Structure 1
Amino acid sequence: MEDFAGLAVSLAFSVGASLCGGWWTLRRWSQARHLLDTPTSKIRSAAQGYVELYGVLEELPEVQVHGPLTGKPCVWWRFRIEEYQSSDNKKRWRPVESGTSEAWLRLNDGTGECLIDPRGAEVRPVVREAWEGNLRHPRGPARTGFLGWLSSGKRYRYVEERLHVGQPLYAIGDFRTLGGGRQGLDLEAAQRAVIREWKGDFAGLLQRFDNDGNGHLDETEWNRVRLAAQLEAEDRHRQVSAQPAMNRMARPGESRPFILANAGEDEIARGLYWQAAAGAVLCLCGALATAWLLGIRHF
Structure 2
Amino acid sequence: MQELSRFSSGDWFLLIALFVGACICLLASLRMFHRARLIEDMPTSKIRSCSQGYVELYGTAKWMDGPEIHAPLSGQPCVWYSFSVEEYAQHSKQKWRRIDGGVSDDLFLLEDDTGACVIDPQGAEVTPSSSNTWYGSKRISPVTHTSPLEVLGGAIFQTGQKYRYNEQRLDQYESLYAIGEYNSLGTGHEDNLKDAARAYLRVLKRDKEKLASYDKNSDGQIDLEEWEQARKDAKQAVIKHQLSNPLPKRMHVLKKPLTKKYQPFLLSSKSEIHMSRKNRILSAGLAILFVVFIASIFLKIIGTF
In the superposition, the TM-score normalised over structure 2's length comes to 0.69
SS at match of 1:52: strand
Contact 1:82 1:94 in 2 (8 A): yes
Larger Rg: 1
Equivalent position of 1:32 in the other structure: 36
Q: CA deviation at 1:123?
A: 0.7
- Read off the aligned partner of 2:38 and give its amino acid letter: H
Identity %: 34
Q: CA deviation at 1:81?
A: 2.0
1:198-249 CA-to-partner distances (Å, cap 9, x unmatched) read xxxxxxxxxxxxxxxxxxxxxxxxxxxxxxxxxxxxxxxx979843211111
- Read off the aligned partner of 2:162 and give its amino acid letter: R
Aligned pair 1:6/2:20, yes or no? no
Equivalent position of 1:65 in the other structure: 69
1:269-288 CA-to-partner distances (Å, cap 9, x unmatched) read 10011111111111111111
Contact 1:76 1:103 in 2 (8 A): yes
Q: CA deviation at 1:78?
A: 0.4
Q: CA deviation at 1:85?
A: 3.1
Q: CA deviation at 1:109?
A: 0.1
CA distance in 2, matches of 1:82, 1:285: 35
Aligned 1:139-150 pairs, distance under 5 A: none
SS at match of 2:48: helix
Instruction: Give 5+ residue unaligned stretches, structure 2.
Output: 147-158, 192-241
CA distance in 2, matches of 1:53, 1:241: 29
Aligned pair 1:171/2:181, yes or no? no
Equivalent position of 1:213 in the other structure: none
Q: CA deviation at 1:138?
A: 6.6
Equivalent position of 1:243 in the other structure: 248
- Read off the aligned partner of 2:84 and give its amino acid letter: R
Contact 1:171 1:261 in 2 (8 A): yes
Q: Give the one of 107, 118, 125 matched to 1:104.
A: 107
Contact 1:34 1:257 in 2 (8 A): no
Equivalent position of 1:118 in the other structure: 121
CA distance in 2, matches of 1:14, 1:96: 34
SS at match of 2:95: strand
Quick one: structure 1 residues 241 and 54, their matched pair in 2 at CA, closer, same or farther if it must change by over 3 Å? farther
Equivalent position of 2:58 in the other structure: 54
CA distance in 2, matches of 1:74, 1:259: 18
Contact 1:117 1:249 in 2 (8 A): yes
CA distance in 2, matches of 1:173, 1:95: 31
Contact 1:179 1:241 in 2 (8 A): no
Q: CA deviation at 1:7?
A: 1.1
In the superposition, the TM-score normalised over structure 1's length comes to 0.71
Equivalent position of 1:230 in the other structure: none
Q: CA deviation at 1:2?
A: 12
Aligned pair 1:78/2:82, yes or no? yes
Instruction: Give 5+ residue unaligned stretches, structure 1.
Output: 142-151, 186-237
CA distance in 2, matches of 1:34, 1:241: 39
Equivalent position of 1:217 in the other structure: none
CA distance in 1, matches of 2:184, 2:94: 52
Aligned pair 1:94/2:97, yes or no? yes
Q: CA deviation at 1:292?
A: 1.9
CA distance in 1, matches of 2:16, 2:129: 39
CA distance in 1, matches of 2:48, 2:187: 12
SS at match of 2:8: helix
- How many residue pairs were aligned? 235
- Read off the aligned partner of 1:115 and give its amino acid letter: V
CA distance in 1, matches of 2:84, 2:20: 29
Q: CA deviation at 1:169?
A: 0.6
Contact 1:180 1:244 in 2 (8 A): no
SS at match of 1:64: coil
Q: Give the one of 38, 45, 69 matched to 1:41.
A: 45
- Read off the aligned partner of 1:27 and give its amino acid letter: R
The Cα RMSD (Å) is 3.0
